[in-house]
Amino acid sequence: MSETTKRVATAFVDEMGSGNIDAQILAPDFAVWTANSGEISGATYLTRLKMLGDAFKVPLRVKVMALTADGDRVAAEAESYGVLRNDVEYRNRYHFAFVFSGDKIKRFHEYIDTKLVVDVVRPVMEPGRK
Element (H, E) at 77: strand 73-84
Q: What is the pLDDT averaged over residues 90-108?
A: 97
The yes-or-no verdict on residue 36 having pLDDT over 90 is: no
* pTM for this entry: 0.90
Pairing status of strand 104-112 against strand 26-34? parallel
If DSSP codes are grouped into helix, strand and coil, which group holds residue 37?
Answer: coil
The yes-or-no verdict on residue 33 having pLDDT over 80 is: yes
Q: What is the pLDDT averaged over residues 75-80?
A: 97
| Number of other CB atoms surrounding residue 114 within 10 Å | 14
Q: Rg of the chain over CA atoms, in angstroms? A: 14
Q: What is the pLDDT averaged over residues 65-89?
A: 95
What is the CA 55 to chain-centroid distance, rounded?
A: 15
The yes-or-no verdict on residue 34 having pLDDT over 80 is: yes
Residues 6 or more apart whose CB falls under 8 angstroms from that of 25 comprise: 8, 11, 12, 103, 104, 105
Q: What is the pLDDT averaged over residues 22-43?
A: 94
Structural domains of the chain in order of their starting residue, each with its CATH number: 2-125 (3.10.450.50)
**Higher pLDDT, residue 36 or 98:** 98
